[in-house]
Amino acid sequence: MNRNFLISVRRVPGLAFFLVSLLAIGLAIAVAGEAVADEAMASKTTTGKWDTLKTKYLTLTYENVEDLEAFNGKIDFSSDVSSFASFLNADQPSGTGIERTEFENEVIQKMDALVEKVQLILDMRKPINVIVKLYPDKTALQGAYFNIYKKKKQLRAWYIFEYNTIYLNVQDLFAEMFAHELAHAIVDNYLAVRPPRATAEILARYVDGHLRKKAKVY
């Protein structure tokens, strides 16, 4: 398996500079910096309109429903903890007026089961809502990277804590890769202080290596 996706937690560049600016010049600069970050976020959405599908834990965003279909096709996962999953799915909001297709329900069920498995492996269960941006191909994903970091890098997938977002290419994806990025999101949001990058990477690798195994209970 090509595991170069593992080097995949990205820090937003200029954050250190941003923090220094914050200290030196004060709150006004902080507000301006925030606006710049928002602009960077907006610019990578290209020209298209992004649709979203909200699950219990994720906000899946995509430009074309074909991308969501491709994403679903690549994530080969069914939960081995059905009682746990059904317990958590029991409180899905009902009567919200949102009519979902059978396909959307299938996606929601599968992705939430995957999140729950990652939470179970880590023993880090608390409510999360992570944005997952689905790009149709390698070029689009790399374009997104360039728009955020203003430099080129060939990553297969990554997670940005500051944007609470996972970036994926639906053509180059499998369940373990997604689980790995989910683990980063869960680990970074669970602890009061984010763990060192090496520690987080060890945890995320453990998760992707144990996704298909029965989660250990300690």
Q: Which residues bind Zn ion (CB under 5 A)?
A: 6, 8, 201, 204
* Cβ contact 152:52 at 8 Å: no
The rounded distance, in Å, linking the Cα atoms of 149 and 92 is 37
Q: Which is nearer to Zn ion, 56 or 156 (CB)?
A: 156
In contact, 114 and 42? CB cutoff 8 Å: no
For Zn ion, the closer CB: 74 or 205 = 205
- CB nearer Zn ion, residue 67 or residue 201: 201
Nearer to Zn ion, 68 or 183 (CB): 183
As measured in angstroms, the least distance from the Cβ of 180 to Zn ion is: 6
Contact 58, 111 (CB under 8 A): yes
Q: Which tokens is 149 given?
A: 């970091």
Angle subtended at Cα 144 by Cα 143 and Cα 150, rounded to the nearest 5 degrees:
80
Ramachandran area for residue 23 (φ above 0: left; ψ -120 to 50: alpha; else beta): alpha
Q: How far is the CB of 6 from Zn ion (least distance, A)?
A: 5
Of 6 and 131, nearer to Zn ion (C-beta) is 6
Q: What is the DSSP string of 52-112?
A: EEE-SSEEEEESSHHHHHHHHHH-----S-HHHHHHHHTT---SSS----HHHHHHHHHHH
Q: Are 44 and 167 in contact (CB under 8 A)?
A: no
Comparing CB distances to Zn ion, the nearer of 54 and 205 is 205
* Closest separation in Å from C-beta 8 to Zn ion: 4
